[in-house]
Amino acid sequence: MQIIDGKKVSAEIIEQIKIETEDLKQSSGKTPGLAVVLVGEDPASAVYVRNKGRACERAGFSSFEHRLPGDTPETDLLALVKKLNEDSEVNGILVQLPLPEGMDSQKVLEAIDPAKDVDGFHPVNVGGLASGISDLAPCTPAGIMELLDHYQIPIEGQDVVVLGRSNIVGKPAALLLLKRNATVTICHSRTKNLKDITARADILVSAIGRAGSVTADMVKEGATVIDVGINRGVDGKLTGDVDFEAVSPKTSYITPVPGGVGPMTIALLMKNTLTAFRKQNGL
């Protein structure tokens, strides 16, 4: 069994991006820029936004942080997005979710210029992903693909089971794996005989959001297990969806929580920002 070290892979990716960014700055005189918009006081979101700013620094990007109060009218948020769409120093725009109640997240996401949609949530990019032509895929699923590739885990022809069908993780993860010729099964809360399905998986991706959802009897001997879940226990400790202690001895590869998929999400956000920057500047 090998533990997949997302922290290390993420740091390597950001280091590589920094080198590329330095070269691009030299040749073009321009710097990639990411704008992050946070509405309200959600503490978890505030931590994510701070981490994104720090990652920008490490990558050599400009970072623009916009903090708006929780009672900001939706029209003001839409006006800010429009301004950022038009700002040539901003190559990527990320509106931190969830937005406060009463705001229409979909409307806000659709207001972002698809070329600057580094989260990959705009319908244009979602459609591109479904057609296999998008280069701005959602960061968490794209991070999963980077981890599999880094550890040279075969994907083509493998039986892959994805637990969860959200637009942020499950569905795009399934599409990326399908593009790489895996045989993909998507499971959700209404799936029957879950154990029979997961027990066939060469690669099992869990994005449910409930601790203890994946037990040892659900996992095939030698499988790769990717745990996307982030769950906070009563003791405040973070755990994934997978019963790590019982499951890990059966696996070939497994991601821990924390330190597995989590750090990859930010690395892929940097990668998407660099991709958007290159495209917008014809580099």
Q: Among all residues, which ones are annotated catalytic?
A: 52, 96, 119
Q: Which is nearer to ligand NDP, 207 or 225 (CB)?
A: 207
Does residue 98 have a cis peptide bond before it, meaning omega lies within 30 degrees of 0? yes
State the residues that interact with ligand NDP by CB under 6 A.
140, 163-166, 168-170, 187-191, 194, 207-209, 213, 228-231, 261-262, 265
Q: Residue 145 Cβ, how far from ligand NDP at the closest point, in Å? A: 14
DSSP 46-87: HHHHHHHHHHHHHHT-EEEEEEE-TT--HHHHHHHHHHHHH-
Between CA 59 and CA 271 the distance in angstroms is 9
State in angstroms the smallest separation of the CB of 195 from ligand NDP: 10
Distance CA 15, CA 199 (A): 37
Residue type, 67: R
- Least CB distance from residue 22 to ligand NDP, whole Å? 27
DSSP per-residue letters across 213-253:
-B-GGGS-TT-EEEE---EE-TTS-EE-SB-HHHHGGG-SE
Q: Which is nearer to ligand NDP, 113 or 239 (CB)?
A: 239
Q: Least separation, in Å, of the C-beta of 52 and ligand NDP?
A: 12
Judge contact between 130 and 255, C-beta under 8 A: no
Rounded-to-integer distance, Cα 120 and Cα 134, Å:
9
37 vs 169 by CB, closer to ligand NDP? 169
Give dist(CA 183, CA 236) in Å, integer: 37
Residue with Cβ nearer ligand NDP (91 or 213): 213
Long-range CB pairs of 109-112, under 8 A, 24+ apart, other chains included: 111/78, 111/81, 111/82, 111/85, 112/81, 112/85
Q: Which is nearer to ligand NDP, 108 or 267 (CB)?
A: 267
In whole angstroms, the minimum distance from the beta carbon of 211 to ligand NDP comes to 9
Cα–Cα distance between 222 and 202 in angstroms, integer?
A: 8
